[in-house]
Structure 1
Amino acid sequence: MLSIGAFSKLCRVSTKTLRYYAEIGLLMPSEINPANGYRYYAVEQLETMLFINRMKGYSFSLDEIRELLKSKEAGDEGLCRAFLQKKRAIEKQMRDCECVLEQLGGDLEALQQGRSIMAYMEQLRVQLVKAPDMRLLSVRKMVQAEEYPKEYAGCFGRLFQKIALEKLKMTAPPMALFHSAEYTPAGLDTEFAVPVEQAAAGTRGFCPGLCLKTEVRGAYAQLPAAYAKQLEWAQREGYECTDALYEVYVTDPVEAAAESEYLTEVYCPVKKITL
């Protein structure tokens, strides 16, 4: 048996952390002396502690590690699934970081040449268009800002599955409508939708009418600039928003080689302000 101090030294984990792991049931001492409360760990638990440290290095949360320990005991299949998901998440983080570095480099170059880093907004064009009426197959829910990547994948995945099962015909690319006027503690009221030809359970009519339209080429992080540009245009030309703002994802991110290839259409339904 190893004292908590010896175990701590071998694993390079503080005794405070070991006590916390015991509190949350992640790694319990093999034995606790009832007389003095001293904690002891079995030599075999060294491997478990090393496994926990390795999983933390992969950015798994402690709750996730608890489940991974169960999977480890049950066999390798569960671990393989978890590792594959984490690998994909880390790869996405790396791609996102590469995009941030590229943008940062571009901004740095612009500053060094005496140009504004906001010059890209000059490339955004606002058009006044009549958007077509549509029938939307959709799911609507409150979404927190950090949940959007997961919700986009999950909600559109379910909608595409329904389209395939019921043999519906898509008439336009997928889109998201934002019904909230502002973020709330509950999140943003968001409708994930796919325009379809046939009426079916879960579909509704959508008639946006007169809209401001802006095409954005590149990462989704640029989309707020399109909304800012549209707001400036509307105030200058005397228009006001009448319905949910929405985005049409013309480019499938799965098929794009890089974010620079994304094409997104941003719409704001409007009407002329009458005095």
Structure 2
Amino acid sequence: MFRIGEFSKLTQVSIRMLRYYDDIGILKPAKINNKNGYRMYSVEQTKVLSKIIFLRDIGFSTEEISHALKHWDSESLKKEFKRKEEVIKEAISVEEQKLKKLREAMSEIDDSKDFNYNVVIKSIPFYNVICLRKIVPNYFSEGELWHLLCEHIEKENLNIKDSNHSFAIYHDNEYKENDVDIEVCIVTEENGIEKDGVTFRKTDAFDLVGSTMVYGPYENISGAYKSFVNWLDENNQYEISGMSMQVCHKGPWNEEDPKNYLTEIQIPIKIK
């Protein structure tokens, strides 16, 4: 048996942490001396402590550590490690996005960049389209809608090619962090069975549309919308009159390098 100080030196874990582990119940002393109240630890407890340190270092909370210690078998551990892997991957993704934005900000400061997107006014006709509209978790889920629509086209053996004009319509009246209402459309004169949310319809025509081209990865799109705010402020005789649309002229299906993506933002407008 070892006193807490001795156990601390041998395991390289501070007395403060050993007392904390005792308080929360994941590593109780093997024995407490009735005469002087000293916490006493056994050799066998070094193995338990090693497990605690390992789990702590890979991001397990004290509650998760307690659960893992009680279920220390291969199947339970694999399940817990897989769950923690997904949590860590998500955290890494979030931090990578922060790092990317930070680097872009530093680049703009260094180069005194101020991205401006040229807005032009045009009209767009109505289109006969095959479309799929769903509420999806976020804007990045739009790709799944395109996948489902193309899968339907292939399954129903419709004569619609990848080269057909396509676009997405965003039906929410505001920017949303989640539960986004998106409709993906492909222009076609084909008709067929409507099922699984896939429909055929005629889109609206617009006499006036503010249009701007976005070159490069999809992360640049937010900057285009901000430029459109400035354009409306400078051209205050116009106001927004409909849902925004995105036409992807070049994307992952026909361009390997995101730097060469080409996306057109279309926002219906009207004279006040």
TM-score by shorter chain over 0.5: yes
Letter in 2 for 1:207: T
Of 110, 128, 152, the residue aligned with 2:140 is 152
- Report the counterpart of residue 47 of structure 1 in structure 2: 50
Q: Work out the CA distance in 2 between the residues paired with 1:266 and 1:92.
A: 26
Give TM-score, length-normalised by structure 1: 0.61
- Asked if 1:124 is matched to 2:118, the reply is yes
Letter in 2 for 1:180: N
> Within 5 Å, which residues of 2 pair with 1:94-109?
94=96, 97-98=99-100, 100-109=102-111
Number of equivalenced pairs: 247
- Asked if 1:164 is matched to 2:158, the reply is no
Larger Rg: 2
Query: Could you list the runs of 5+ residues in structure 2 that have no partner in the other structure?
Result: none
**CA gap 1:229/1:66 in 2 versus in 1, 3 angstroms:** farther
CA-CA distance at 1:260 after TM superposition: 2.9
SS at structure 2 position matched to 1:44: helix
SS at structure 1 position matched to 2:195: coil
**CA gap 1:265/1:222 in 2 versus in 1, 3 angstroms:** same
Contact 2:21 2:28 in 1 (8 A): no
CA-CA distance at 1:75 after TM superposition: 7.4
Letter in 2 for 1:181: E
Q: Work out the CA distance in 1 between the residues paired with 2:202 and 2:183.
A: 11
**CA gap 1:98/1:270 in 2 versus in 1, 3 angstroms:** closer
CA-CA distance at 1:10 after TM superposition: 2.8
Q: Work out the CA distance in 2 between the residues paired with 1:245 and 1:139.
A: 16
Letter in 2 for 1:195: C
SS at structure 1 position matched to 2:210: strand
> Within 5 Å, which residues of 2 pair with 1:124-273?
124-130=118-124, 132-133=126-127, 134-140=129-135, 148=138, 152-153=140-141, 156-157=143-144, 160-161=147-148, 163-164=150-151, 167=155, 171-172=164-165, 175=168, 177=170, 179-181=172-174, 187=177, 190-196=180-186, 198=192, 199-203=194-198, 205=201, 207-210=203-206, 211-234=209-232, 236=235, 238-252=237-251, 259-273=258-272
Q: Work out the CA distance in 1 between the residues paired with 2:150 and 2:89.
A: 30
Q: Work out the CA distance in 2 between the residues paired with 1:64 and 1:164.
A: 41
